A and B are shown apart, each in its own frame.
Chain A
């Protein structure tokens, strides 16, 4: 038995160093601009050192929301690394929610050392499809490289997020927030954002 949901809940999963926290700040700032109370919680090992990092972004028109999204509570899960996306989707995605994920694995040390096996990416995506109503997937780094900088991978995924229409702030507001946050990297970041957005729109149309 569950009461009525009062928050928009979005999670961004990834590996430390991928720009997950910066991406969540952009979405959070844009949602505040759009008139929401926003809270961003992070679960992390050590965020810049290759561990799993998850940001919990919660927005509400009423009171400030608690910092963590409860199990099965996320409307959208965005992932910069496919295994990390599934780790989050399994526990947090509301059945029928939306998933956007990169398909390029970042191999954990345990796997390189031969102590563990990395699952097949197709199998990870298949698991996500069992829970989500829509899974948008592509290689963020391929698009980031096309935009001119691998570091803009997090902007690619934000572009894709804006294409879903699932968050209550428009594309222009997100772009403005990005441009103001990093004025010098504006051109590359916005190009990365557009490439992610175009790719997601293409997949949403079923091309």
Chain B
């Protein structure tokens, strides 16, 4: 079971500012998702290797070759606050 404290913790980790009603809604929704996982857990999986993928493919790799980059103005095009050559972001407070 996910309680309010779990939701607050996850919201904080994902930098989401949730209102009281949103916190409550998330608690209910996350619990229903977990309940669905319980359904999946009921499937017998003994003797089956765990996997992280639905497709049976391994070793997809590329050669170490340089490809064209984005022009700088395109890279910065969607930045909310570009500054010269850079993306500009609010100062991070360390202490």
| A-B complex is real | no
- Identify the B interface with A (CB < 8 A): none
- Identify the A interface with B (CB < 8 A): none
